Amino acid sequence: MPDMDGFREATNFGIGQASQCSDFHVKGASNLSWGMKDRLSRIFNPKTGKAVLLAFDHGFIMGPTSGLERIDLNIVPLVQYADCLMCTRGILQSSIPANVNKPICLRSDAGTTILTELNRNVLIDVEDAIRYNASAMAVMFAAGDGEQEAITAANLTEAVDLGNRYGIPVMGVTAVGKQMARDARYFALASRVCAETGASIVKTYYCEGFEKVVAACPVPIVIAGGKKLPEKEAIELCYKAVNDGAAGVDMGRNVFQSENPTAMIQAVHAVVHEGLTPEQGMEMFNDLSK
Ligand code: 5RP
């Protein structure tokens, strides 16, 4: 029992002041559980509401792609500049030191490689995601793919069910169906379906009319970078996405395949969190590259 000696009477009840239940800084998350919000707050900075996720999960379908040959040499030095790491459990366990203290968006499905058409997609065990202390689980949704749409929708649904049980948010990763035009109508549909399925974060691609994709999606959208672009274009892409309402980026190749990945991730971070213009972002990249 606490010692009652010196007990001070409570007096400061703020009578007459409305209870301060400030809105949560992550879109669509106000009604989530405390654990979910805590995990989302590790990913999305409470001051800016934004996040820079470093994606290096490509190996699960592409193998050792350019820039990811040696995770210890290519990725570990960048980790300090990322808000969250998106990777598979195999790379996390084998190559990322557990004391980097970064939230993990764990790639939680596995599918066929680039050697074949996508024809199978399975979920990892949610208990394993818990063992890795995942702050989110990333699962693909292949909208418009005749073979895979239903399977990936079922996987996403199951991941959300499991995530809800344990308080782990799910990121719906929109895979681009081969037959579908990569336009706002398609990305709006794919993103919205992810959110309707219960995803708390959606990862999709920037496109013309992106503001409509964001407006129609009730949870935060982060953009993938896509194939490697010249640094100037990649920085412009980040700027335009955030300007049109993205809550950040989940970027891979445009960082780890950059001429200077360390400078690139810092410039991207400043564009996302500090609102640097593309020119300022490029200036930062050039200064850091000297
Ligand atoms: C692969 C992914 C990647 O993480 C995603 O495409 C982001 O990487 P990049 O910026 O290189 O496109 O989800 O399925």
- H helix and E strand count, the chain: 12, 10
Going by C-alpha positions, the residue among 73, 40, 74 that lies closest to residue 55 is 74
The answer to whether residue 203 is catalytic is: yes
Averaged confidence pLDDT in the chain: 94
Contacts of 220 (CB under 8 A, 6+ apart): 26, 27, 28, 44, 200, 201, 202, 246, 247, 248
Q: Where are the domains of the chain?
A: 34-228+248-257
Model pTM?
Answer: 0.94
The answer to whether the beta carbons of residues 111 and 141 sit under 8 Å apart is no
Q: With 70 as the cut, is the pLDDT of residue 257 above it?
A: yes
In this predicted structure, which of 121-130, 180-189, 195-204 has the lowest mean pLDDT?
A: 180-189
**DSSP type of residue 100:** G
| pLDDT one-digit tens code per residue, 204-216 | 999 999 999 999 9
Domain 34-228+248-257 is found in CATH 3.20.20.70 = yes
For residues 117-139, average pLDDT: 92
Q: With 80 as the cut, is the pLDDT of residue 37 above it?
A: yes
pLDDT score, position 263:
98
| pLDDT one-digit tens code per residue, 39-67 | 999 999 999 999 999 999 999 989 999 99
**d(Cα 229, Cα 235) in Å, to the nearest integer?**
9
pLDDT score, position 52:
98
Reduce the secondary structure of the chain to three states and give it as a string: CCCCCCCCCCCCCCCCCCCCCCCCCCCCCCCCCHHHHHHHHHHCCCCCCCEEEEECCCHHHHCCCCCCCCHHHHCHHHHHHCCEEEECHHHHHHHCCHHHCCCEEEECEEECCCCCCCCCEEECCHHHHHHCCCCEEEEEECCCCCCCHHHHHHHHHHHHHHHHHHCCCEEEEECCCCCCCCCHHHHHHHHHHHHHHCCCEEEECCCCCHHHHHHCCCCCEEEECCCCCCHHHHHHHHHHHHHCCCCEEEECHHHHCCCCHHHHHHHHHHHHHHCCCHHHHHHHHHHHHC
For residues 272-285, average pLDDT: 98
| pLDDT one-digit tens code per residue, 94-111 | 999 999 999 999 999 998
Mutate to test the pocket of ligand 1, among 52, 54, 56, 57 (most ligand atoms within 8 A of CB): 57
| pLDDT one-digit tens code per residue, 155-197 | 999 999 999 999 999 999 998 767 677 899 999 999 999 999 9
**10 pLDDT tier (thresholds 50, 70, 90):** confident
Q: With 90 as the cut, is the pLDDT of residue 9 above it?
A: no
pLDDT score, position 1:
67
State in Å: Cα 4 to ligand 1 middle.
58
Percent with pLDDT over 70 in the chain: 97
What number does the ligand 1 atom closest to the CA of 203 have? 13
pLDDT score, position 40:
98
Q: Are strands 121-123 and 109-111 parallel, antiparallel or unpaired?
A: antiparallel
Q: Which of 37, 203, 228, 240 is catalytic?
A: 203
Q: With 70 as the cut, is the pLDDT of residue 22 above it?
A: no
State in Å: Cα 75 to ligand 1 middle.
15
State in Å: Cα 109 to ligand 1 middle.
14
Q: Which residues line ligand 1 (CB under 6 A)?
A: 55, 57-58, 86, 173, 224-226, 250-254
**21 pLDDT tier (thresholds 50, 70, 90):** low
pLDDT score, position 224:
97
Mutate to test the pocket of ligand 1, among 54, 74, 250 (most ligand atoms within 8 A of CB): 250
**23 pLDDT tier (thresholds 50, 70, 90):** confident
